[in-house]
Amino acid sequence: MAGSVESARRSSPEIGVLALQGAFREHAHMLARLGVATREVRLQEDLEGLDGLIIPGGESTTMGRLMAEFDLVEALRAFARRRPVLGTCAGLIIMASRTTQGRQPLLGLLDITVRRNAFGSQVHSFEADVELDLGPRTERQTFPGVFIRAPWVEEWGPGVRVIARCGERVVGVEQGALLGVAFHPELTQDMRIHEHFLRLVSAARR
Ligand code: GLN
C-alpha cells in the first residue's frame, strides 16, 4: 500500500503557492494549464509533502508581516533547503537577503540585494522584453516581461546566476534550485518560466 502511495507521489508533483496575499491564483491557473496539481499554502502543515513552492507578487512588507504572524518564516526557510522555490516580484523580494531600503522581514534564501520599486515610483507598470538565459543547454531567448512596481537585483553573490536582464538591469536570478524574477510570468500566456521551474522540481525529485 505504502508502495502505491509512494509511486503515485513520484509520478506527479504537487506545487504549493503561498496564499497569504497577492497574485497567488494566477500562478495556480498557470500550473493547472501545465497539468500540475497545486495547493494553497497558509499554514506550516500545508507545506507537507509538497515538491516545490511559488511565492507570488503582491506587497512584500504585507506578505512579510503575514509570514511572521502565521509563524511561517522558519518553516519556509527549512522548505527551501530541500525543495525548489520560485518567487515573482514581491516573492523575489521576500526571497532576498537584503534590500537597499532598510529593514523588512525577508527569508534570506537568495544571496542578493534588491531595490524595491526600482524602476521609479511614478512608473507603476510597464511591459518590456526580457533577455532570458535559462542555462547552458538552452538558447538565449526573449520573454515578455510584465513589470508592476517591480524591484531589480542590485547586487548578487558568487553562487547566484543571472538568468534575466531588462536592458542593463538584472531582473532574474537562480541559486541552486531557487529561482526569482522581478516580473510577472503568471500574468502572460508564456509558460517558459514555470516550465523551467518544473524542470528544477523534477530534478529535485530524482
Ligand atoms: N513593489 C512591491 C513590493 O515592494 C512589489 C510589487 C509586485 O509584486 N508586483 O513589495
In the chain, domain spans: 2-117+151-162+173-205
- Pocket perturbation via mutation, ligand 1, pick of 149, 153, 183 by most ligand atoms within 8 A of CB: 149
* Catalytic residue from among 89, 166, 194, 196: 89
How far, in Å, are 110, 128, 184 from residue 146 at the CA level? 22, 7, 5
Contact 143, 130 (CB under 8 A): yes
Judge whether 166 counts as a catalytic residue.
no
* Catalytic residue from among 27, 184, 194, 196: 184
CATH of 2-117+151-162+173-205, one of 3.20.20.70, 3.40.50.880, 3.90.120.10, 3.40.30.10: 3.40.50.880
In the three-class reduction of DSSP (H, G, I as helix; E, B as strand; rest coil), residue 186 is classed as helix
- For residue 1, the model assigns a pLDDT of 42
- Pocket perturbation via mutation, ligand 1, pick of 26, 66, 89 by most ligand atoms within 8 A of CB: 89
Tell me if 55 CB under 6 Å of ligand 1.
no
How far, in Å, are 2, 10, 15, 17 from residue 7 at the CA level? 9, 5, 17, 23
Query: How confident is the model over 83-105, as a mean pLDDT?
Result: 96
Tell me if 65 CB under 6 Å of ligand 1.
no
- For residue 14, the model assigns a pLDDT of 97
Q: Across all residues in the chain, what is the average pLDDT?
A: 93
Tell me if 117 CB under 6 Å of ligand 1.
yes
Q: Which atom of ligand 1 is nearest to the CA of 88?
A: 8
Query: Tell me: the pLDDT tens digits for 19-34?
Result: 999 999 999 999 999 9
Query: Tell me: the pLDDT tens digits for 102-155?
Result: 889 999 999 999 999 999 866 689 999 999 999 877 788 999 999 999 999 999
